[in-house]
C-alpha cells in the first residue's frame, strides 16, 4: 500500500492531491522552487522540500525530483497536470527507482502524447477520428495537396502539442502557406519536436471529453462527459458536466467509445478521451490526455467519485471501487477557471499581491484555490489561481448558483476573469445550452460590458469622498 506520496507539481492541483492524501492517511511531500516559498501547497503538505532557484526548470527536472522522492522515503509520485505529467521520462525513472508513478505506463504516455500515433491507434480500434493526414507532414507542398483533398478550412497542429498551443486554423491555401513555417517553429520551440500534421477543421465544434478510469485488473469504466466548448484561444475557461448539448443515446455511445479507446491502448489509471462534435451531430476522436485534468472536479460533483483517490488506489494495485453499473450521474456541474488576467486588456496576466481573498460558500459550491490573503502570485507560472466548481440539480439552477457563487467570491489586488464570467452567464445562447468553441470569439461585447472588481471598490471610495465633500 502507498504510504507517502511526492507531489511533483505546484498550485491548486498540488493542494488537491495533498487533500486526497490527508483523507487517505497518506503522508504528502511537496516540492517548491524559491519563487514558491510562500505557496499554499508548501504550507498544506506534511513535508516540503526546496528544489532551488529555477522557478520553472526546477519542476521539470525529473531525475532530481525522483531522487528526492527516494531520499524522503516516498513510495509513490503524483505528477498532477502540466509540467512533467505527460513526460514519459518521469514515469520511466519512477519505475527504475521503484517509485509508483500515479498514472499510466511510460509507453502509453509516449504513444498518446504523439497525436499522430494516437489517431492511428484509435482508427485501428474503429473509433472515428477527425479526417486528416495519416502521419506527419513532410513538406509544405504535401500539406497543400492534402488540404486540397480534405477541403478548407484545415487545422495545422503540433504532433506533440498541448495546452492549446501549436494549433492554427487555415482558411485557404494562402493562409496554409503563410502559417506552415510558423506552426513548425512554434512546435519546435514549445514542444521540442518539429513534427506537425493536418486535420479538417470541424464546423461549429463542441469539445466533448470523457473521463475514464482503468485498473490493472482489466476493469475500465467511464464517468460520463464534460463539455469544454467555452474556450479562448483553444484554452478551456468553463467546463460543464454533463453536456447540455447531447442526448442520452449520444452519451451512452461516447462512454462506450471512450472505454474502447482506453482498452485499445491497455490504459491504466485516470485518463480523458477528447472528442469534437460537429454541427451534424458526428463525433470525432481528437486526442487522449494521460493525466488528471484541471476540470476533473465537475465529474466528481456529478458522480460523487473522488478521482484522485481512485488514481492512488489504482497505482497501489487495487481494483476500481466501482463497476460501470454502479456509476450514475446526478444534476449538473460547472467549473469556472479563475485566472489572474484582465479581461478588459486582452486577458493579459495580472500577477501581484492578493490583498484580500474570500472563498465562496453555500450549497453546491467548491473552491480549489492556490491563493490566500497576502499571497503574492509569482509571475512565472500559469495565471489560473483558483477554480470554482458549482453543482445544482438542474441546469437553470446551476446557472443561478454559478452567478451567485462568483459574486460571493472575493479576489482583490489582481484582475480576474470573474467579472467576465458574470457577463457570460447572462448570454441567452449560453443559458439555453447552445454554444460551440467559437462562443468567446463570437461575443466580443462581453469584454466591453465587463466591469472590473477594483472599479467597484473605487466607486465605493469615490461615493464616500463625494458624500464627505457634500457634508452628507
Ligand atoms: P486540461 O484539459 O486539464 O484543462 P490544459 O490543456 O488546460 O488541460 O493543460 C493543463 C496545464 O498543462 C496547463 O497549464 C497547460 O499549459 C499545461 N500543458 C498541457 N499540455 C502541455 C504540454 N504538452 N506542454 C506544456 N504544458 C502543457
Ligand atoms: P491540446 O493538446 O492543446 O489540448 P487539442 O488537439 O485537444 O489540443 O485541441 C485543442 C482545441 O483546439 C480543441 O478543444 C478545439 O477547440 C480546437 N481544435 C482542435 N482540433 C480541431 C479541429 N480539427 N477542428 C476544430 N477545432 C479544433
Ligand atoms: Mg486537448
pTM: 0.94
Q: List the beta bridge partners of residue 335.
A: 239, 389
CA distance readout (Å), 82 to 13, 256, 321, 336: 10, 27, 27, 18
pLDDT at position 456 is 54
Average pLDDT over residues 314-330: 98
pLDDT of 457 reads 56
Signed CA dihedral, 105, 109, 110, 112: sign only:
positive
| CB of 233 closer than 6 angstroms to any ligand 1 atom | no
Would you call 408 helix, strand, or coil by DSSP? helix
Residue 307 Cα to chain centre, angstroms: 14
**Treating both helix axes as pointing N-terminal to C-terminal, what angle do 88-96 and 106-113 enclose, rounded to 10 degrees?**
170
Distance from Cα 235 to the centre of ligand 1, integer Å: 9
**Residue 461 confidence (pLDDT):** 64
Residue-wise pLDDT tens digits, 143-156: 999 999 999 999 99
Q: How, if at all, do strands 332-339 and 384-392 pair?
A: antiparallel
| Grid coordinates given for 459 | 466607486
CATH 3.30.1490.20 domain extents, the chain: 131-200
Atom in ligand 2 nearest the alpha carbon of residue 202: 24
Whether residue 236 has its Cβ less than 6 Å from ligand 1: yes
Per-residue pLDDT for 305 more than 80? yes
Each residue of 384-435: pLDDT tens digit? 999 999 999 999 999 999 999 999 999 999 999 999 999 999 999 999 999 9
CATH for 4-102, options being 3.40.50.10210, 1.10.10.10, 3.40.50.20, 3.10.20.310: 3.40.50.20
> φ, ψ for residue 132 (rounded to 5)?
180, -165
Ligand 2 pocket: which of 234, 277, 290 to mutate (most atoms within 8 A of CB): 234
With CA atoms as reference, report the closest residue to 225 among 279, 157, 293. 293
Largest Cα separation within the chain, whole Å, is 79
pLDDT value for 166: 95
Within a 13 Å sphere around the CA of 405, how many CA atoms are in the beta-carbon half?
Answer: 29
Determine whether 291 is an active site residue.
yes
The predicted structure's pLDDT at residue 141: 97
Predicted pLDDT at 291: 98
Task: Provide CATH 3.40.50.20 ranges for the chain.
Answer: 4-102
Element (H, E) at 422: helix 418-424
* Residue 26 to residue 404: CA distance in whole angstroms: 35
Q: Atom 22 of ligand 2 has which residue's CA nearest to it?
A: 201
Q: Under a CB-based contact definition with an 8 Å cutoff, are residues 56 and 268 in contact?
A: no
pLDDT score for 80: 98
Which secondary-structure segment (H or E) carries 368? strand 365-369
Q: Is 155 in the pocket of ligand 2 (CB under 6 A)?
A: yes
**Which residues, listed in sequence order, are joined to residue 91 by a DSSP beta bridge?**
none
pLDDT value for 419? 97
Instruction: Please count the other Cβ atoms lying within 10 Å of the Cβ belonging to residue 177.
Output: 14
pLDDT at 116 over 90: yes
d(C-alpha 88, C-alpha 292), whole Å: 15
Probe residue for ligand 2, chosen from 167, 187, 204, 284 as the CB with the greatest number of ligand atoms within 8 Å: 167
Q: Is the pLDDT of residue 449 over 90?
A: no
Whether 241 has a pLDDT exceeding 80, the answer reads yes
Strand order in the sheet with 269-277: 283-289, 269-277, 206-214, 220-232, 235-241, 332-339, 384-392, 365-369
Given a cut of 70, whether residue 453 has pLDDT beyond it is: no
Note the pLDDT of residue 451. Answer: 79
- Count CB-CB contacts under 10 A for residue 30: 26
Catalytic, out of 291, 313, 366, 401: 291
Q: What is the DSSP letter of 114?
A: S
pLDDT of residue 472: 64
Measured CA to CA, the distance from residue 51 to residue 59 in angstroms comes to: 8
Specify the residue with its C-alpha closest to ligand 2, atom 21: 201
Q: Separation of 81 CA from ligand 1 center, angstroms?
A: 7
275 CA distance to ligand 3 middle (Å): 9
Ligand nearest to the CA of 9: 1
Q: Average pLDDT, whole number, for the chain? A: 96
Question: Does the pLDDT value for residue 460 go beyond 80?
Answer: no
Torsion sign (Cα): 207, 208, 213, 219: negative
Instruction: Tell me the average pLDDT across 221-247.
Output: 98
Q: Is 82 in the pocket of ligand 1 (CB under 6 A)?
A: yes
Q: What is the CATH number of domain 206-455?
A: 3.30.470.20
User: Residue 459 — very low, low, confident or very high, per pLDDT cuts 50/70/90?
Assistant: low
Contact, 45 vs 28, CB < 8 A?
yes
- Ligand closest to 198 (CA) is 2
Give the ligand with the smallest distance to the CA of 381: 1
Q: State the virtual CA torsion across 39, 43, 45, 49 in degrees, nearest 10.
A: 70
Dist CA 437 CA 264 (whole Å): 28
Residue 284 has pLDDT above 60, yes or no: yes
Q: Which residues contact 178 (CB under 8 A, 6 or more apart)?
A: none
Ligand number nearest to the C-alpha of 84: 1
Q: What are phi and psi of 223, to 5 degrees?
A: -115, 40
* Contact criterion met (CB below 8 Å) for 22 and 14: no
Number of residues that make up the chain: 472
* Ligand 2, atom nearest to 166 Cα: 3
Q: Would you say 369 and 388 are in contact if contact means Cβ atoms under 8 Å apart? A: no
The pLDDT value given to residue 467: 75
d(CA 451, CA 466): 21
- Tell me how far apart the alpha carbons of residues 278 and 207 are, in angstroms, rounded to a whole number: 9
CA distance 375 to 373: 6
Strands 76-78 and 4-7, sheet pairing: parallel
| pLDDT surpasses 60 at 455 | no
Determine the distance separating the centroid of ligand 2 and the alpha carbon of 131, expressed in angstroms.
13
Report the pLDDT value the prediction gives residue 131, as an integer from 0 to 100. 96
Q: Which atom of ligand 1 is least distant from the CA of 82?
A: 12
* SS3 call for 412: strand
Q: Selecting from 3.40.190.10, 3.30.365.10, 3.40.309.10, 3.30.1490.20, what CATH number does the domain 131-200 have? A: 3.30.1490.20
CATH 3.30.470.20 segments of the chain: 206-455
335 SS3 class: strand
**Helix (H, G, I), strand (E, B), or coil: what is residue 239?**
strand
Amino acid at each position: 500500500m502507498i504510504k507517502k506520496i511526492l507531489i511533483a507539481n505546484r498550485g491548486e492541483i498540488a493542494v488537491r492531491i495533498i487533500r486526497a492524501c490527508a483523507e487517505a492517511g497518506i503522508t504528502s511531500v511537496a516540492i517548491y522552487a524559491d519563487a514558491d516559498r510562500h505557496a499554499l501547497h508548501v504550507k498544506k503538505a506534511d513535508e516540503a522540500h526546496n528544489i532551488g532557484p529555477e522557478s520553472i526548470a526546477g519542476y521539470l527536472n525529473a531525475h532530481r525530483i525522483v531522487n528526492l522522492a527516494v531520499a524522503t522515503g516516498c513510495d509513490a509520485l503524483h505528477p498532477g497536470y502540466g509540467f512533467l505529467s505527460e513526460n514519459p521520462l518521469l514515469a520511466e525513472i519512477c519505475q527504475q527507482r521503484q517509485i509508483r508513478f500515479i498514472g499510466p505506463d511510460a509507453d502509453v504516455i509516449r504513444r498518446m502524447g504523439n497525436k499522430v500515433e494516437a489517431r492511428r491507434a484509435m482508427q485501428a480500434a474503429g473509433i472515428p477520428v477527425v479526417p486528416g493526414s495519416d502521419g506527419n507532414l513532410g513538406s509544405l507542398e504535401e500539406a497543400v495537396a492534402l488540404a486540397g483533398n480534405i477541403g478548407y478550412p484545415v487545422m495545422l497542429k503540433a504532433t506533440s502539442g498541448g495546452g492549446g498551443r501549436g494549433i492554427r486554423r487555415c482558411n485557404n491555401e494562402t493562409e496554409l502557406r503563410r502559417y506552415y513555417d510558423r506552426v513548425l517553429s512554434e512546435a519546435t520551440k514549445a514542444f521540442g519536436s518539429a513534427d506537425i500534421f493536418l486535420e479538417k477543421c470541424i464546423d461549429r465544434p463542441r469539445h466533448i471529453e470523457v473521463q475514464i478510469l482503468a485498473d490493472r485488473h482489466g476493469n475500465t469504466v467511464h464517468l460520463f462527459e464534460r463539455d469544454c466548448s467555452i474556450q479562448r484561444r483553444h484554452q478551456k475557461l468553463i467546463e460543464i458536466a454533463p453536456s447540455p448539448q447531447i442526448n442520452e443515446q449520444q452519451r451512452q455511445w461516447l462512454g462506450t467509445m471512450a472505454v474502447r479507446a482506453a482498452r485499445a491502448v491497455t490504459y491504466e489509471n485516470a485518463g480523458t478521451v477528447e472528442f469534437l462534435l460537429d454541427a451534424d451531430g458526428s463525433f470525432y476522436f481528437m486526442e487522449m490526455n494521460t493525466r488528471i485534468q484541471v476540470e476533473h472536479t465537475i465529474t466528481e460533483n456529478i458522480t460523487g467519485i473522488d478521482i484522485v483517490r481512485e488514481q492512488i488506489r489504482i497505482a497501489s494495485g487495487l481494483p476500481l471501487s466501482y463497476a460501470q453499473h454502479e456509476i450514475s450521474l446526478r444534476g449538473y456541474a460547472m467549473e469556472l477557471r479563475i485566472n489572474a488576467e484582465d479581461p478588459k486588456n486582452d486577458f493579459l496576466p495580472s500577477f501581484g499581491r492578493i490583498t484580500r481573498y474570500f472563498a465562496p460558500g453555500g450549497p453546491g459550491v467548491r473552491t480549489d484555490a492556490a491563493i490566500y490573503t497576502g499571497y503574492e502570485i509569482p509571475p512565472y507560472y500559469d495565471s489560473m489561481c483558483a477554480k470554482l466548481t458549482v453543482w445544482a440539480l438542474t441546469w437553470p439552477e446551476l446557472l443561478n448558483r454559478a452567478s451567485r457563487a462568483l459574486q460571493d467570491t472575493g479576489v482583490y489586488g489582481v484582475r480576474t476573469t470573474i467579472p467576465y464570467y458574470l457577463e457570460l452567464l447572462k448570454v441567452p445562447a449560453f443559458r439555453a445550452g447552445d454554444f460551440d468553441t467559437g462562443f468567446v470569439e463570437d461575443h466580443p461585447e462581453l469584454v466591453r460590458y465587463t466591469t472590473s472588481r477594483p472599479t467597484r471598490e473605487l466607486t465605493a471610495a469615490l461615493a464616500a469622498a463625494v458624500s464627505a465633500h457634500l457634508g452628507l
